[in-house]
A and B are shown apart, each in its own frame.
Chain A
Amino acid sequence: MATETSSESAGTTAVVAKANEQIGGAYRALEAFSAKRVRNLGILLAVVVVFSVYAITQDGGRIYLQRIFDSLNNGFVYGAVAIALVLIYKATGVINFAQGEMAMFGTFLMIDLHDYRGLPVWLAILGAMVISAAGAAGIERTLIRPFDPTNHLSIVMVTLSIFFIINGLVPVLYGIDPEAVPTPFPGAKDDFFNLFGVRIRYENLGIWITVGLAVLLISLLLKRTKIGLAFRSVSSNLESSRLVGISTGRTLQFGWALAAAVGTLAACLVARFNQPIDFNFMGKVLIFSFAAATLGGLDSVLGAVIAGLMVGVAETMLGGYVELIGSELALLVALAIIVVVLVVRPSGLFGSKKVERV
C-alpha cells in the first residue's frame, strides 16, 4: 500500500515536473520573443499599416481620417486619467481604483457649481478641480497615511472601499437622474471647421489643447519645482527622502491632490460626450485609462498621454471597422491591451525598467 502511494506520487511528481518545465520553456520563448524590440515594433507597425489599408479600401480615406480625429478626444481624456493613475502609482506603488469615482464626483460638483450656483463653466471646472484636490488631500491624510506605505495590499483595499463609498454617496447627494453636461467650448451643431475634408469641432480642439496644456504644466511642475523634486525623490526612495528633510506625508498628499485635480478635469471634459451622465459614467473610462497607463508603463507621465491616444485610436478604429467588436465589445480592446502588454512587455512602452546596480 505504502509503496503504491509512493510510486503514484513519484509519477505525479514527474508529471508536475514536466509540466513545470514546459511552462518554463513557454515563458522563456515568450521572453526571447519580446526581447527583440525592433522586430516587435515592426510587427506592430505592419499590423497598423495592413489595418489602415483595409480600412481605407473599405470606407474611403476621408472617413478613415475622420475616425482618427474623432478618436483623439477619447484618447486625450484616457491619457489625462492615466496621468492621474501614474502620479499615484509613482508615489505609492499602487493603482488608485477610486480615481475614476473621485473624478466622477468632481464632475457632479462642476455641474452643481454651474447649474445651481451660477458659475461660468470654466470657473465651475476650476472650482471642482480645487475641491477635488482638497478632498483627495483629506483622503490621503485620513485613509491612506495611517497605513504602512510598504503594505500595498491594504492600500489597494482602501482605494477600493473609497470607490464604493463615492459610488454610493453621489446618487444620495445628486440623485440618480441623468444630468446634462455643460461645455466651456463652442458646442453648437455647426461649430466646426474643415481640414483636409475632415470635420474638426471646436469643442474637440478645445479638449486637445486643454489636456496638452495640463500635461505640459504637470511635467514642468515635476521637473522644475521644489515640490516636484520632493515628489520624484519620494517615488524613488521613501527612507532617503526623510533623511534629506522631505516630509514624505505632505509630498504624497500633494501627489494625491494633483492626481485628483487632473482626473476631475478629464472627467469634466469627457462627460460631455457621454451625456446625459449618471454616477456610473466613469467606469468605462477608467478601464480604458488603466489600459493606457499599463501601455505607457505606469511610471511615465508623457508615456501615459501617448498611450492614451493609442488606446483611444484603437478603440474607435477597431469598433468602427470590425463589425464583431462594434461599440459593445470595445471594452474588450482595452482588456486585451492590458493582457498583451503585461505578457509581452510588462514595463510598457515608456516605463523605466529598474536600472540598479547593487
Chain B
Amino acid sequence: MTERVLDVSGLEAGYGQIKVLRGIDLHVDKGEAVVVLGANGAGKTTTLRAICQMISTKGSVKVRGKEMIGRSTPDVVRAGVAHVPQGRGTFPDLSVEDNLEAGAFVRKDKAGVRQDRDLWFSVFPRLGERRAQLAGSLSGGEQQMLAVARAMMSRPELLLLDEPSLGLAPIIVQDLFRRFGEINKQQGVTMLVVEQNASLAFGLADRAYVLEAGQIALSGSAAELREDDAVRKAYLGY
C-alpha cells in the first residue's frame, strides 16, 4: 500500500464565531498531485491554513501518520510540509538569495542548502539573475517562482499551493503549471493544489476534490471529475 502523506478527517476550522470548514475528509498519497476546486468562499484557502495549523482547528490532520492538531506551524513544516500561501508570501525586504536561505530554515545541512539554491537558480534563471535584488521589487510571476522555489528549499514531502495562478498572465500561468508538473512527476514531490482555474488544475492533478460551503461535495480521479456534468458547468464553463 502506498504511503499516506496527508490524511485529513473531520477537519473543522473558522475565524472567531464564523465556521468555515465543517468536517472535511481528504487524503493525499505519496507522489500524487491532488487538486481542491471550489468557488470563492468555499473554504479552499482555509483548508490549507488549517492543515498548517495557522488557525485553530478540530478533527484530525495527519502528516505521514503523525497528528498535527495542537502542534505549531513550525512543527508542521518540520514534519515535511511546505506551503506557498495565497499572494505568494515572499519576504519583500530580503534579497532573493536570502528568501531561499530562509526557505531552508529547518534544514541543518549547509552544503546541501547551497546546492539546492543553485539548483533552483538554474531551474528559474530569472531568479538567478536577480539573486541580490530585494524580493519586493520582483514582478508577480517572478515572485510566484520565488515562492515555489523557497518552499522547495525545505525539501518537503508535501507541497501545498494556494491559487498559484492568481493575478498572473495566462502564458506565465501555463509555464508555472508545467513546472509544477515536473516537480511532481520528475522530483516525486507530493502536491495539494487549491485552484479556481479548473482546466489547468485537471491538467496537473491525478485526483480532485470539489469543496462547497466548507464540505467536500465531490471527489474522484481528475479524469472522472472532468467529465462530471456539474463540475463541467460550474468550473469549466461548457
The residues of A with any CB-CB pair to B shorter than 8 Å are 226, 229-230, 232-233, 235-237, 239-247, 352, 354-358
Q: How far is the CA of A354 from the CA of B93 in the complex (A)?
A: 8
Query: Smallest distance from the beta carbon of A161 to chain B beta carbons, Å?
Result: 27
- Bound CA span A178–B5, Å: 66
Q: Which of B81-129 contact A (CB under 8 A)?
A: 82-83, 85, 89-94, 98, 101-103, 105-106
B137 touches A355 (CB 8 A): yes
Assess the A240–B105 pair: CB atoms within 8 A: no
Question: Which residues in B have their C-beta under 8 angstroms from that of A240?
Answer: 85, 89-91
Bound CA span A237–B98, Å: 13
Question: Which residue from A230, A242, A244, A352 sits with its C-beta under 8 Å from B54?
Answer: A242
Please name all residues of chain A whose beta carbon is closer than 8 Å to the beta carbon of B73 when the two chains form the complex.
242-243, 245
Complex interface: chain A residues within 8 A of B140 (CB): 357-358
CB atoms of B93 and A236 under 8 A apart: yes
Cβ-defined partner of A233 (8 Å) among B52, B77, B94, B134: B94
Which of A236, A239, A352, A355 is within 8 Å of B85, CB to CB?
Answer: A239
Contacts of B139 in A (CB 8 A): 357
Contact A245 B138 (CB under 8 A): no
Q: Are B94 and A242 in contact (CB under 8 A)?
A: no
| Distance from B161 Cβ to chain A, minimum over Cβ atoms (Å) | 12
Task: Give the nearest-CB partner of A233 in chain B.
Answer: B102
The answer to whether B101 and A229 have CB atoms under 8 Å apart is yes
Give the 6 A-B CB pairs with smallest separation, nearest first. Answer: A245-B77, A245-B106, A236-B91, A240-B89, A236-B93, A242-B73
Q: Does B72 contact A (CB under 8 A)?
A: yes
The answer to whether A230 and B105 touch (CB under 8 A), given A243-B85, A245-B78, A357-B138, is yes
**A–B Cβ pairs within 8 angstroms, 22 of them:** A226-B105, A229-B102, A235-B93, A236-B91, A236-B93, A237-B89, A241-B91, A242-B73, A242-B74, A243-B54, A243-B73, A243-B77, A243-B85, A243-B89, A244-B105, A247-B74, A355-B92, A355-B136, A355-B137, A356-B92, A356-B136, A356-B137
Q: Which residues of B contact A247 (CB under 8 A)?
A: 72, 74
Query: In the complex, what residues of B have CB within 8 A of residue A226's CB?
Result: 105
Given contact pairs A244-B150, A245-B106, A236 touches B83 in the complex (Cβ within 8 A)? no
Which residue of the partner chain, among B92, B105, B137, B143, contacts A229 with CB atoms under 8 Å? Answer: B105
Q: Which chain B residues have a beta carbon within 8 Å of chain A's beta carbons?
A: 52, 54, 72-74, 77-78, 82-83, 85, 89-94, 98, 101-103, 105-106, 134, 136-140, 143, 150, 154
Q: Which residue of A lies closest to B135 (CB)?
A: A236
Contacts of A239 in B (CB 8 A): 54, 85, 89
Q: Nearest Cβ in chain A — how far from B206, in angstroms?
A: 25
Min C-beta distance of B44 to chain A, whole Å: 17
Most chain A CB atoms below 10 A, which of B89, B102, B136:
B102
In the assembled complex, the Cα of A237 lies from the Cα of B54 at a distance in Å of 14
On whether the beta carbons of B136 and A244 are closer than 8 Å, the reply is no
Residue of A nearest to B79 (CB): A245
Contacting residues, chain A, for B85 (C-beta < 8 A): 239-240, 243
Contacts of B136 in A (CB 8 A): 354-357
B85 vs chain A, min Cβ distance (A): 6
Complex: A339 Cα to B74 Cα, angstroms: 42
Residues of chain B contacted by A358 (CB below 8 angstroms): 140
Q: Which residues of B contact A356 (CB under 8 A)?
A: 92, 136-137
A299 to chain B, nearest CB (A): 8
Q: Are A244 and B77 in contact (CB under 8 A)?
A: yes
Contact yes or no, B106 A244, CB < 8 A: yes
> When chains A and B are docked, how far (Å) is the Cα of A356 from the Cα of B92?
7
How far, in whole Å, are A239 and B90 apart by their CA atoms in the complex?
Answer: 10
Q: How far is the CA of A230 from the CA of B74 in the complex (A)?
A: 13
For A357, list chain B residues within 8 Å (CB): 136-140, 143
B92–A245 contact, CB under 8 A?
Answer: no
> With the chains together, A229 CA to B97 CA distance in Å?
11
Nearest Cβ on chain B to A229's Cβ, whole angstroms: 6
Measured between beta carbons, the chain B residues less than 8 angstroms from A244 are 77, 102-103, 105-106, 150, 154
Q: How far is the CA of A232 from the CA of B72 in the complex (A)?
A: 21
Residues of chain B lying within 8 A (CB to CB) of residue A242? 54, 72-74, 77
Contact of A236 (CB < 8 Å), options: B78, B92, B143, B150 = B92
Which of chain B's residues have a CB closer than 8 A to the CB of A243?
A: 52, 54, 73, 77, 82-83, 85, 89
Question: Complex formed: what's the CA distance from A336 to B93 in Å?
Answer: 30
Residues of B contacting A245 in the complex (Cβ-Cβ under 8 angstroms)? 73-74, 77-78, 105-106, 154
Query: Which of B78, B92, B138 interacts with A237 by CB under 8 Å?
Result: B92
In the bound complex, how far is the Cα of B132 from the Cα of A351, in angstroms? 19
Distance A113 CA – B229 CA, assembled complex (angstroms): 80
Pick the contact of B98: A229, A241, A354 (CB < 8 A): A229
Residues of A within 8 A of B150 (CB): 244
Shortest Cβ distance from residue A147 to the other chain B in the assembled complex, whole angstroms: 17
